[in-house]
Structure 1
Amino acid sequence: ANTYPQINRSLLYAGCILHDMGKVIELSGPVATKYTTEGNLIGHLVLIDEQIMLAAHELKIDEHSEDLMLLRHLVLSHHGLPEYGAAHRPVVLEAEVLHKIDDLDATVYAITNALQQTKPGEFTETIKSQDNRRFYRPKNDEALDQAPRLE
């Protein structure tokens, strides 16, 4: 947000905080996590959108206000493409930025997880989410050894 002053910082922060909160309803809990019936049938994007609307109603926020619509758009579009679960493609700058942040986070997690299971000087197994690419773990990769285990 500091690099791009044209970004509505409050909207982006709200989207960052809320975009995956529906997973609390979508998933069963922190141990032996499984998808709930609601999670399987509805999904976290719609579940958090419903919670946003319930909160707006309770706080007496006009359900047609632009601020509320923009926040809902960020949440509903953060997966980027319908084939990845987005209800709509991002069409607001902050929604596109949130999508890129979320995608970057998932990419770093997937690659780091695979590298942590790979010996230095070798390639990871194929990473499905990364276009079936394999990543090389450098021989002197000390930073990866210090990273928290992601398994």
Structure 2
Amino acid sequence: MKSADLLADALDRVKEAVHEAVRGLGPKQLSARLDEEANSVAWLIWHLTRVQDDHLADLAGTEQVWTADGWAAKFDLPFPLDETGYGHSAAQVADVQVASRALLTGYYDAVHRQTLRFLRTVTAEDLDQVVDESWNPPVTLGVRLISVVTEDLQHAGQAAFIHGILQRRAH
């Protein structure tokens, strides 16, 4: 199995986790927070998708799906277009309200497709290419892609945990 295929498989698993984390939740549940400082399922899925979109567009040298495909307008959030949610305050987390889970999964799926298109172009040699010299040691393409996978899985897991709590509270 090639490295890019391995990364694609990992990101397919993220996609499954994202869809499972929002399955059966309505707008109110998606925006629910376990306390005033907690993240919501909607914010977690939006954030992980924005980070993936931002990072992969940078790596591929393309426009983010967020703006290129009109997702920013569909979400209509009170943030600058380049906002990814990194460092958001509790009030900003609360601002992420969505009309449906289809909005979240639609955006995620569009970013996922763009990511897989990029991965089909990646060779094993490309993975050692330095893409960010602002860190010590500098970040390679492979390390950046693994970073996206791990952050996505972490946030999808957090969303799944909240989903479970919300279901338990409903019963």
TM-score (norm 2): 0.28
Higher helix share: 2
Tell me which structure has the larger Cα radius of gyration: 1
Q: Work out which structure has the larger RCO, using CA pairs closer than 8 Å and 6 or more positions apart in sequence.
A: 2
TM-score by length of 1: 0.31
